[in-house]
Amino acid sequence: MSEKLAAYLVCSSFMPEGHGSIVPYGEAAHPMLEKYEGELLVAGESDQFMELLEGDWKDNAKFTLFRFPSMEHLKAFWDSEDYQSIKHLRTDNTPPNFTFAVNAVDWSKWEPE
């Protein structure tokens, strides 16, 4: 059986001036992340420095990145009743720009086209 690849939860939210606190969300989500072995790699905060190198990025959008051991772990976290019941603590205060899940790439199997 092949080794499972890591999966990443990629999030962007708007941080409008005077937005509400997301501390209650972080406090509620933290134990769930631990349960599903999620790891916060980049925290999108109000004072986050971002320099756009290519493409488009909406004003006031911030970037957050989580790593999970597999897509199964990520989806179990996201789809859990516990997480769905607290998600509003984030979206009520920092409206989402986008959220998506992606698997890592197994470069050992990559072949150029």
Question: What are the residue ranges spanned by the domains of the chain?
Answer: 8-105
Check residue 3 and give its pLDDT.
63
Distance in angstroms between the alpha carbons of the first and the last residue of the chain: 26
Chain position carrying tokens 């603590």: 89
Cα-Cα-Cα-Cα dihedral of 104, 78, 93, 21, to 10°? -90
- The fold for domain 8-105 equals Alpha-Beta Plaits (3.30.70)
pTM reported for the whole predicted model: 0.85
pLDDT digits (tens, 9 = 90+) for 10-53: 999 987 788 888 899 999 999 999 999 999 999 887 788 888 89
Is 1's pLDDT higher than 50? Answer: no
